[in-house]
């Protein structure tokens, strides 16, 4: 009879852990989606501002200068954002694993 009780207890713990993991997944993906939305909005606004600057340029040198500055800033922003999103995914994976860590046997 102890085995059935143990199996029921284990099944309940697994269900609770899965529920916690899915809750964590939901919150984490929402954070990542918000971050990506904010970045996209900021990127669009910066691109629009540069386009307005380019439209007002009178010399080719000024066009090249504005475009070069924008390309550099856009690249740096993309690298920083990619790093941030990568870190968010790593943190999410770690948080999702936490409910299941208690189930893993401890090594010596």
Model pTM score: 0.77
Mean pLDDT computed over 5-32: 89
103 has pLDDT over 90: no
pLDDT (average), residues 24-31: 94
**Structure tokens that stand for 40 in this block:** 């996209």
Alpha-carbon distance 65 to 3, whole Å? 75
Nearest Cα neighbor of 17 from 72, 78, 99, 104 is 99
Q: What is the pLDDT of residue 76?
A: 97
Task: Say if CB 63 and CB 56 are below 8 A apart.
Answer: no
Q: What percent of the chain lies above the pLDDT cut of 70?
A: 94
Say whether pLDDT at 107 is over 60. no
For the cut 90, the answer to whether the pLDDT of residue 33 exceeds it is: yes
User: Does the pLDDT at position 108 exceed 70?
Assistant: no
pLDDT of the residue at 13:
86
| pLDDT at residue 66 greater than cutoff 60 | yes
How far apart CA 79 and CA 20 sit, in angstroms, is: 32
């Amino acid at each position: 009879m102890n085995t059935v009780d143990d199996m029921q207890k284990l099944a309940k713990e697994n269900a609770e852990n899965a529920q916690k993991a899915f809750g964590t997944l939901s919150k984490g993906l929402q954070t990542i989606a918000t971050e990506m939305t904010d970045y996209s909005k900021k990127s669009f606004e910066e691109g629009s501002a540069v386009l307005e600057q380019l439209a007002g340029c009178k010399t080719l040198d000024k066009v090249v200068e504005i475009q070069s500055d924008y390309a550099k800033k856009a690249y740096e922003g993309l690298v920083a954002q990619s790093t941030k999103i990568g870190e968010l995914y790593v943190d999410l994976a770690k948080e999702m694993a936490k409910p299941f860590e208690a189930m893993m046997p401890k090594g010596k």
